[in-house]
Amino acid sequence: MTAAITLAGVSKSFGAAQALVDVDLEVNTHEVLAVVGDNGAGKSTLAGLLSGVHTPDRGQVRIDGEPVHLTSPAAARREGIAAVFQELALCDNLDVVENLFLGHEAAAGIFLDEVSMERQAWELLDQLAARVPSVRVPVAALSGGQRRTIAIARALLGDPRVIVLDEPTTALGIRQTAQVLTLVERLRERGHAVVLISHSITDVQAVADRIAVLRLGHLIGEFDAETTTTEDLLGAITGAVAPRAGGRAS
Amino acid sequence: MTTARTAPRTDGGRISSAWQTWTDGDHRLAPIAGALVVIWVAFGIANPTFWTPENLVNLSLQSVSTGVIALGIVIVLLAGQIDLSVGSVSGLAAAIVAVGAVAGDWPVALGVVVALVAGALIGLLYGVLVARFGLPGFVITLAGLLVVAGVQWRVLGADGSVNLPFDSWLVKFNQAWFVPDGVAWVGAAVVVAGVATIGIVERRRRVLAELPAPTVLGVLIRPAVLAVLLAVVVGYLGQARGIGYSVVLFVVLVAVTDVLLRRTRWGRHVRAVGGDHRASLLAGVPVRRTLVSAFVACSTLAALGGVLAAGRLAAANQGTGGGGLFLTAIAAAVIGGTSLFGGRGSAWSALLGVLVIQSIANGLTLLDLDAATRNIVTGLVLAFAVSIDTLLRQRQQRSVTRV
Ligand SMILES: Nc1ncnc2c1ncn2[C@@H]1O[C@H](COP(=O)(O)OP(=O)(O)OP(=O)(O)O)[C@@H](O)[C@H]1O
Ligand SMILES: [Mg+2]
């Protein structure tokens, strides 16, 4: 296992609100790193730092040991980091294919290559076993779960090295949730580094290798998913119980 | 580890998806095209002069300048912005051409180029202020409306009015030059053949890629309708002076813009930014560049509209581009089906919208009704169009919240 991305002493504030304070974290290839924490703990901010939405106030983001400045989602994407944002970030007025390829459309000369994009879209959605009535309906006409699937499919296009999923199973039914978790495992097997942000301890324990706990912007600890109990995790998240053996308190 | 299953999708889904793909663009334009026919029939009955080829030739020539400006408005609206200064910019452009030709002794072509560049620079300024500094486009272009109108008056000087020589090519282009009948028929045939060929080639590509494709018959509907339409237009207008070159320029601009908007990265980015600014940013769309380009395109087209107006009137004065022209252009875009809320619309809505507005103006003038009535009727049509837009949007949003 090698570190694909390293956060070194990263802090981020929004005005007076300290969203992240001095966080050190490694994201490894062939590994699912779960990030858990209460509402407002800083999880989405962490995802934003990894995916170029936010730039850190202090500290560094390193890729393969080299400091990088991820100044935009496009820049992060070029470095092989893709994200599915909590709010999905789909354009309601565009159809499924248009959304999937937004920002990196296939083109032949100056004209878009709709045929190849539509083909790839079907293949990708087939892979994800996604049920979508048509790839040419505006995503506004899709259900919440379908929209989420589209957002995940979009992150997978272009085969990124690191995939950040911010609460990917929220609003999904049982079957779709299982599919997303299966997908996460498959991504790990293919050698991706996956950052899985979630409120669901069950989901996290099902697929994660390592679990990082955030509380009020501080990284409380990293836990081994195999050996950590649900009570330990809940304790660390809420701050009710001090982290014990199996965790590396910081 | 389960293997990926094939998504259950029925052929029915694919076919209906294809159906949607092929009709969606035209679909939204259908109601307004229907409204246009109703308006024409009504005015034709009220005063048969309306239907004469000569009057319709006039109507087509009257529509060009405002139509070109409305085309620019369509682009900024699609990008989720607005430009209130298009009237002033067109007025300034007209002034530059006229004053350059008369006082500066410039060749008209130089004046045209300077006017277009001035328009592009104004758009660039708006774009930078909005995209880079995050200022609201509504306010910036409102300020621009006043500033540019002031500059226009300065350029025109004390007289406030400059006449273009009647023998200049710009005047002839807008008033006197018409496509010869034979050329018009050949041109129409070439366009229809081209559209049919593109349709067939694209259908073939889809079939080869095993994607849902319409039937050959389905593909040929569009060129067939187009053929009938062009034949009627060329044949009927041909009984009078025919199709003006400025009209050809306008329609070609609309067609080119339509292709750019639907078939290029730039067009897709314009619609994406207009649909959801933040989502576009997160998806890696060059949002700033797209916004700037939309403002530049709009102001340049506004300047071109002003140049064409100067040619048509053979003059530029303080009133050129003034009054409610910017509102008329915006109304035309919206009546034609382009959403005020961004992201939805078509270049063709500039053509249809301006035809509706000019038909109303022309028809009411023929009925000896005054400008007040014209304003009231146009306003009511606009209110109607906006209501439809808002209703569509609400329906879309309801479907979003339905999870
Ligand atoms: N753009 C912003 N502007 C101001 N404050 C922000 C912004 N984004 C996040 N914050 C603040 O930073 C803190 C962490 O927010 P963040 O979205 O990272 O939480 P989270 O762990 O993702 O929560 P949730 O589980 O609700 O998604 C919160 O206190 C929030 O108010
Ligand atoms: Mg969050």
Is residue B275 situated within a structural domain? yes
> Rounded CA gap, B86 and B316, in Å?
16
> Percent of chain A having pLDDT more than 70?
95
Scanning B284-324, the segments in alpha helix (DSSP H) are 287-313
Q: How far does A158 lie from chain B, in Å, by closest CA?
A: 13
Domain coordinates in residue numbering, chain A: 5-238
> Rounded CA gap, A173 and A86, in Å?
17
> Rounded CA gap, B16 and A179, in Å?
27
- Ligand 2 centroid to Cα of residue A61, in Å, is 20
> Rounded CA gap, B122 and B166, in Å?
29
- Helix, strand or coil for residue A9? strand
- How many independent structural domains does chain B possess? 1
**B154 is in which domain, residue-wise?**
11-177+244-395
Is residue B403 situated within a structural domain? no
Binding site membership of A20 for ligand 1 (Cβ less than 6 Å): no
- Structure-derived torsion over alpha carbons of residues A227, A231, A233, A235, reported in degrees to the nearest 10: -140
* Crossing angle between the packed helical segments A144-156 and A174-189, to the nearest 10 degrees: 10
Binary contact (B209, A118; C-beta < 8 A): yes
Is residue B145 situated within a structural domain? yes
- For residue B67, the domain's CATH number is 1.10.3470
User: Which bound ligand lies closest to the C-alpha atom of A40?
Assistant: 1
DSSP, residue by residue, B37-60: HHHHHHHHHH-GGGGSHHHHHHHH
pTM of the model: 0.88
| A58-62, B165-169, B281-285, B369-373: least confidently modelled range | B369-373
Is residue B198 situated within a structural domain? no
- A5-238 in CATH: which number? 3.40.50.300
Burial of A123 (0-12, 13-18, 19+ CB in 10 A): exposed
Is residue B278 situated within a structural domain? yes
Binding site membership of A86 for ligand 1 (Cβ less than 6 Å): yes
| A112-126, A234-248, B111-125, B355-369: least confidently modelled range | A234-248
Region of B227 (left: φ > 0; alpha: ψ -120 to 50; beta: rest) is alpha
C-alpha gyration radius of chain A: 18
- Residue A152, pLDDT > 50, answer yes
Q: What would the pLDDT profile of B128-164 be if each residue is shown by its tens digit? A: 999 999 999 999 999 999 999 999 999 998 878 999 9
Is residue B348 situated within a structural domain? yes
Is residue B268 situated within a structural domain? yes
User: Which bound ligand lies closest to the C-alpha atom of A43?
Assistant: 1
Q: Which residues contact B233 (CB under 8 A, 6 or more apart)?
A: B243
Is residue B219 situated within a structural domain? no
The CA distances from residue B333 to A200, B263, B326, in Å, are 48, 20, 11
**Which is the closest atom of ligand 1 to the Cα of A15?**
4
Q: How far does B45 lie from chain A, in Å, by closest CA?
A: 40
Is A180:A152 a contact under the CB 8 Å cutoff?
Answer: yes
Q: What would the pLDDT profile of A170-216 be if each residue is shown by its tens digit? A: 878 888 788 889 889 988 998 899 999 998 888 999 999 999 999 99
Is B290:B260 a contact under the CB 8 Å cutoff?
Answer: no
